[in-house]
Structure 1
Amino acid sequence: MSGAGDARRAPGPLYSLVAWPPEALDTWLRRTQERLNVRGFGAPHLNLRAPFQTELSSTELVAAFRDVLRGEEPFEVRVRGWKRLPHVFFLECEPGPHLLDLHARALSVGPSSRAPHDGAGYTPHLTLALGVLPWAEDLLWLQVQATRPPMDRFTVNVLSLTREERGEVQEVHTFPLEGAGTPDEAERPSQEAEPDLSP
């Protein structure tokens, strides 16, 4: 992705393909974050691939994801339970065959960067807390483990392409999952807050 002319170029935005949890789960996660005084990154979401950079414009990315998602139907996500990594707590979701296939197809869009947690390391999840201080981890973890989410599964009907730049996340385009129907007609052209800024 780099060449001699890229040395002076500012780093591009980070894109993600995400699924949003249903309102009840979203609200519960936000309230739990407030109660425990922790934060994730942006609104609760499930990454279909980790944030990535690309030389493709937003318009080209939308077209590429439209191609790989064509014919995709709504799918169920099962919530496994809490998982802990250093300084991070999250709700792990079951990496079923359908979700893994979607992840592989999302990775086929490029050229683009790839994160260490993509591919074999992919763990679908909803983040509760990032950057938990070491002295608080054990105490917070006990509180997290005593907390039960309001549902153990949910259905994903839409996926969204998002863009993060200078700390702000914007929804670039929403892809309804309508099977073999005519998704092009139903797609919201986007919730773009601004025109494509790619050179």
Structure 2
Amino acid sequence: MNEKIKHTINFINQKAGKNCGFSVPQNYFEEVEERINTSVFIDSLPKKKTFNTPGDYFDTFETQILSRLATEQTTETKVISLRKRVLQYIPLAAAASVLLFIGINYFNAQKITFEDITITDIESWYENGYGNIDNSELAATLNTSELDEDILASISDETLEDYLNSVDTPTLINEIEQ
């Protein structure tokens, strides 16, 4: 068995050292795709001339350009600078902004009166810390005569009697103590 392996190794070594008849140029596989694409592109190009210039075009080209420049220099073109254009639109922008300001204030203007403010609005105002008045300041602000007139004038004797009859005595005592 060792002899067969030895012969196989010798055979492989002999073949590796010899030229087997097939050879590939250096960098053949790297360049073959580019060569094929180039030949396809060259074959797809048109075989006839597609662009033609007049016979004396390049001889008269310079004189044509100079004559056009001379005619353009004689006729003045009106140039409006960017500064002038912006200055034209400034009054329009100012008027539009004033109209926008007036429109927003006019359509969003809501007349708030004391009748629109509810007790819950005032309570939430004080609960959120917007009010800094303590009880003594509040008492000094309110006039007791105004309170008596307003509250007592709105309560009739019959309503007061009905309330006192409907409320049980312990609940009434608890309300007075608080």
**TM-score, scaled relative to structure 1:** 0.13
| Higher relative helix content | 2
Max radius of gyration: which structure? 2
More strand by share: 1
Higher relative contact order (CA 8 A, sep 6+): 1
